[in-house]
Amino acid sequence: MMKMKKVLSVVLLSSLVLGACGGEEEPKEEEAKTEDTATTAGSGEAEELYSNKSCVGCHGQDLEGANGPELAKIGAKLSKDEIKDVIINGKGSMPSIDVTDEEAETLATWLAEKK
């Protein structure tokens, strides 16, 4: 009986210690932004645009490709300006995307970093 109490005590204590060791707190949205919005507004904003503009439907959640080509390494194939041109004007079976010039710039900058 005494051994069982010790085991339960160790288990409870371990649970408390592990529970208190939470993960690293994520930075607040304001802290994540930097002065250089062309490259860093980027990631979060670009990913949101990517999802909201239906890019995911053809290019996949993780840029792996679906009905459209993979974009995971598109920056190694196309420049930022070429990517922006495809976003704005479309190419082949890809239609033009209804975005502002700033949104196209954000998406193109983000995708051009994928190499």
Summarize pLDDT for 30-52 with one digit per residue, the tens. 444 333 444 444 579 999 999 98
Q: Between these two residues, 4 and 104, which has the higher pLDDT value?
A: 104
Domain CATH code at residue 59: 1.10.760.10
Q: What is the mean pLDDT of residues 84-100?
A: 94
Judge whether 82 lies within some domain: yes
Annotated binding-site residue numbers: 55, 58-59, 94
Residue 50's CB: how many other CB atoms inside 10 A?
A: 19
**Picking from 3-12, 13-22, 41-50, 53-62, which range would have the lowest pLDDT averaged per residue?**
13-22
Judge whether 60 lies within some domain: yes
Judge whether 58 lies within some domain: yes
**pLDDT band of 5, cuts 50, 70, 90:** low
Can you tell me whether residue 24 is helix, strand or coil? coil
Residue 112: pLDDT above 80? yes
Judge whether 3 lies within some domain: no
What dihedral angle (degrees, nearest 10) is formed by the CA atoms of 47, 52, 54, 58?
20
Domain containing residue 84: 39-112
- For 47-90, write each residue's pLDDT tens digit: 999 998 889 999 999 999 989 999 999 999 999 999 999 999 99
**Farthest CA pair distance, the chain:** 76
Q: Which residues contact 70 (CB under 8 A, 6 or more apart)?
A: 59, 60, 63, 64
Q: Between these two residues, 72 and 22, which has the higher pLDDT value?
A: 72
Judge whether 92 lies within some domain: yes
pTM for the structure as a whole: 0.63
d(CA 41, CA 103): 11
Annotated binding-site residue numbers for heme c: 55, 58-59, 94
Please state the domain count of the chain.
1
Sign of CA dihedral 23, 24, 25, 30: negative
d(CA 64, CA 81): 22
Strand partners, 91: 94
